[in-house]
Amino acid sequence: MGAARIGLNPAQADQPMKLNRRQIFATGSLALLGSMPAGALDRPASAVVLSVRGKVSRSNDGDAVQFDMPMLERLGQRSLTTRTPWYDGPRKFTGPLLRDVLQAAGAQGTTIRAAALNDYKVDIPVADAQRFDVVMARLIDDQPIPVRAKGPLFIIYPFDDRAELRVPQYFSRCAWQLRTLEIL
Amino acid sequence: MAVEDARDPVAAAARTARRQPALWLPLLGATVLALIAAVAWLQWRQSSLMSLAMLSGGDNLVRSLYQADYEYLRLRQVWPQAPGAVATEVDLDALQLRYDIYVSRIGLLRNAARANAIGSRADVRAALREADAFIAAADRVLGSGRRPADRGELLGLQAALLALEAPMRGLTLGAGEVVSESGTRLAAAGRLHNRLGIAATLLLAALAAVFAAFALRQLARERDRSEQLEDLAAALKAARTAAEQASAAKSSFLANMSHEIRTPFMGLQGMLRLLGDTSLDERQARYLRIASASARHLLTLLDDILDASRLEAGQMTIEAVPMDLSTLLSDIEALMRPVAEGKGLRLGIEVHPKLPAHVLADPTRLRQVLFNLMSNAIKFTERGSVRLLVHPLDGAAPAAHESPQPWCFTVADTGIGIDAGTQARLFQRFSQGDDSRSRRFGGTGLGLEISRALARRMGGDITVSSVPGEGSRFTFRVPLALPHDPDTGMAASVGASAAQRPPPRLRVLVAEDNEVNRLVLDAMLSGLGQQAAFAVDGNQAVELAASQDWDIVLMDLHMPELDGLSAARAIRALPERRRAAVPIVALTADVFPETRERCSAAGIVDFLTKPVDPGELAASLARRGTAWADSDWQEQPVAG
């Protein structure tokens, strides 16, 4: 949007050094995008566990970004121990932060439609990923999560840290057997 | 009477307030607490109902049932159905995934069944048992880390997989029943909850009604009370108005009486004085002295009553005019020394050197207070001394600036003294210490009350300290301000400045309707060497003033036909300048200051109070008539 405005401004060619605030902002945004890993991502070397599609600025398989487990593991790992409705007592969940996954894929939408292996679908606001340290768990108690035990990926909110999260709305956003993120 | 009646509603209101026991208060508190507890319990129950619904929500049971059947069908879709080569890797991965998902679904269903009533259903238990049996068999081929060697192994399991259809379908059908069952349970809970809610609402409504009843009752009672208070206020107002009217009537009555009494007094005192000028034997002279003293006493009494009445009605105004303090003090000494020495008492006046000679004060009232205190002291002292000490308050040296400085006039005597109980009553009306004092010394008993009221009106006070048998000290404290210009406008000291030079023979016109007073004035004026002409009313006075030249007109204010003020105005309006400008001196028994103001407005130049004192009359003649007679008018031709 900002870039389009710069292009539409006929005066811009005459005064290339005088940028107004909006133009500086637009330039900054472009610079931010530029600072991310450029161009095509590595293709997954092993079995794909997560596909991110929709409004993504990057890709490594057609219009989608495909992740295998090592790719997710290379993103910053975060461990979170919390109680959940699905397990008795607190469990330790480890995996990349959801927002890091989104950034890695260059996601630009406002809503994430998460789909599970069993076709369960739920919409997660991108804002959740910014406001909370939402973990895309790939380990439970340091062990990989088999499909039989809601794996291999399980979205977990920090329920123990934030009381306001302990409501059905956020429980339902914790997609397990996660397979796909569609950015809307 | 109105006040008496009004006392009843107040007492009634007080009785009503006392009769209300505070019993209902704890009762009400207990009810409110019980209600709050009930509502809290309802809320808690509702929240636990909600959490129940929430727990069974999320991954709820029904969805688990359907999902298990659904995943069973998807697993069947990818299961190899015909013998042949080993499936491709891709197909095997897909099969493995669907199988794992199916296993996870059965696991979830088992957990749900364990936590729910549905777990006790025979068909559900049977379905789970058969599914577990299948999984146990299939895990030998598709369990973790295993791969099927060939299709045969999978086909061998196909019969068992197909056999699961009926139990799995049974789960789906059972789901409907689960829904209705849990719906029924929830509905029952909801019904109970609703009933409890309605009960709580009814209770609340009842309580609100009770509160409303209380509030209405209180409101009615408040209204009654305020009505009673209004009645009381109205009654008090009426009583106050009545009292004020009575007070005004009394004042007016006193003023009238004062006037009426003063008029014959003029005759009485005048005749006594004239009698004194005749040749009397010793016994007659003694009787005459007693009669004169009695008359003077009576006049003092009259003045005191009038002063007290005016102080009480708030009609007494205190002037602040430049006056000469030293003259006042020497006047007091001149008046008091003969009396004190006549009783064999020493009289001393000691004045602080810083006392200003000229101050702003009311000379008449200051004199009145000091005279009263000194007279009392002399009256109640048999031997020893009476001293007047003039000093600054607390001995502080007064600064010479214009803000009023407190000064004290202390009258100390060596008299009988006053005990503490009597001191408390001393300034009360008609109190003279005690009855024995009153019997012994006489007097109106108004003097001290008037003096203190005057002192307070001047911004000061009178206090007393005394030791019975040793004497008393009356301290008259009063703030004295310095005049802006001490040399001008000095008030003439009353009486003392009467020039004793006998006035020259003047042409005097006297307007007086009272025959006795005409006789007295005639005699008095003759004594002063004057020959007077008399008018018996205002009209006659105006006629005489218009037709002849006069040096002075003495005008009684209260006359039939035309009163003195109107006559004075008529004279001032005469066409001939000299006759219109003749000095007019008012003669009146009316001693109110308002009367003086009206006189000035009517062109009257001097004011003599009845009963007229020969000295004052002579002074006025000298002041007004002589100056007039000596003026330039004398040389002008007389018109008409």
**Which pLDDT tens digit goes with each residue over B470-489?**
888 999 999 888 877 645 44
Both A17 and A58 in one domain: the answer is no
Residue A117 to residue B144, Cβ atoms within 8 A = no
Both A30 and A54 in one domain: the answer is no
Both A83 and A146 in one domain: the answer is yes
Q: Does B107 touch chain A (CB under 8 A)?
A: yes
CATH of the domain at A56: 3.90.420.10
B322-480 shares its CATH topology with B507-635: no
Domain B507-635 -> CATH class = alpha beta
Residues of chain A neighbouring B101 (CB-CB closer than 8 A): 117-118, 147, 177
B contact test, residue of A118, A153, A165, A172 with most B CBs within 10 A: A118
Q: Does B104 touch chain A (CB under 8 A)?
A: yes
Cross-strand bridge partners of residue A114: A122, A181
As a whole-number percent, the residues of chain A with pLDDT over 70 amount to 78
Task: Give the residue on B whose Cα is nearest the Cα of A178.
Answer: B101
**Which pLDDT tens digit goes with each residue over A135-149?**
999 999 999 998 888
Q: Does A25 touch chain B (CB under 8 A)?
A: no
Using alpha carbons, list the distances in angstroms from residue B478 to B91, B171, B368: 124, 113, 14
Closest by CA to B583, choosing from B534, B618, B626, is B626
Q: Does B100 touch chain A (CB under 8 A)?
A: yes
Both A147 and A66 in one domain: the answer is yes
Question: Long-range pairs for B158-161 at CB < 8 Å and ≥24 separation?
Answer: B158/B79, B158/B80, B158/B81, B160/B133, B160/B134, B161/B75, B161/B76, B161/B79, B161/B134
- Cβ atoms of B471 and B453 closer than 8 Å: no
- Give me the residue label for tokens 């409907």: B176
The total number of structural domains in chain A stands at 2
Domain assignment present for residue A41? The answer is no
> In sequence order, which residues have a C-beta less than 8 Å from that of residue A44 and are 6 or more positions away?
A60, A66, A67, A68, A71
Residues of chain A neighbouring B53 (CB-CB closer than 8 A): none
pLDDT for B86 equals 52
Both A27 and A52 in one domain: the answer is no
> In sequence order, which residues have a C-beta less than 8 Å from that of residue B38 and are 6 or more positions away?
B200, B203
Q: Does A62 touch chain B (CB under 8 A)?
A: no
Question: Alpha helix (H) ranges present in A19-131?
Answer: 21-35, 69-74, 98-105, 126-131
Domain assignment present for residue A28? The answer is yes
Question: Two tokens at B106?
Answer: 């059965």
Using DSSP's 3-state secondary structure scheme, residue B221 falls into helix
**Which pLDDT tens digit goes with each residue over B215-249?**
999 999 999 999 999 999 999 999 999 988 887 78
Using DSSP's 3-state secondary structure scheme, residue B554 falls into strand
Q: Structural domain of residue A19, as residue ranges?
A: 2-35
The secondary element (H helix, E strand) that includes residue B514 is none
User: What is the residue extent of each domain of chain B?
Assistant: 57-163, 322-480, 507-635
Let me know if B149 is exposed, middle or buried by CB neighbors in 10 A (0-12, 13-18, 19+): exposed
Within 10 angstroms of residue B260's Cβ, the number of other Cβ atoms is 12
Domain B322-480 sits in CATH at 3.30.565.10
Both A15 and A54 in one domain: the answer is no
Both A75 and A7 in one domain: the answer is no
Task: Give the residue on A whose Cα is nearest the Cα of B71.
Answer: A118
Both A136 and A77 in one domain: the answer is yes
**Which pLDDT tens digit goes with each residue over A66-84?**
999 999 998 889 999 998 8
B contact test, residue of A48, A84, A88, A147 with most B CBs within 10 A: A147
Q: Predicted confidence band at A5 (pLDDT cuts at 50, 70, 90)?
A: very low
Both A56 and A134 in one domain: the answer is yes
State which amino acid sits at residue A121.
K
Both A28 and A77 in one domain: the answer is no
Both A31 and A66 in one domain: the answer is no
**Global pTM?**
0.42
Domain assignment present for residue A42? The answer is no
Both A68 and A16 in one domain: the answer is no
Residues of chain A neighbouring B102 (CB-CB closer than 8 A): none
Closest by CA to B511, choosing from B608, B397, B638, is B608
Buried b or exposed e, range B496-534, using 16+ CB within 10 angstroms = eebeeeebeebbbbbbbbbeebbbbbbbbbeebebebeb
Taking 50 as the pLDDT cut, the residues of chain B under it are: 1-7, 10, 13-14, 17, 54-59, 432-433, 438-442, 486, 488-500, 632-640
Query: Please, how many CA atoms are within 13 Å of residue B571, restricted to the half-sphere of its CB?
Result: 35
State which amino acid sits at residue B370.
L
**Which pLDDT tens digit goes with each residue over B111-129?**
877 776 667 777 788 888 8
Using alpha carbons, list the distances in angstroms from residue B75 to B86, B103, B130: 18, 10, 16
Q: Does A87 touch chain B (CB under 8 A)?
A: no
Say how far apart CA B467 and CA A92 lie, in whole Å: 102
pLDDT for B211 equals 87
Domain assignment present for residue A81? The answer is yes
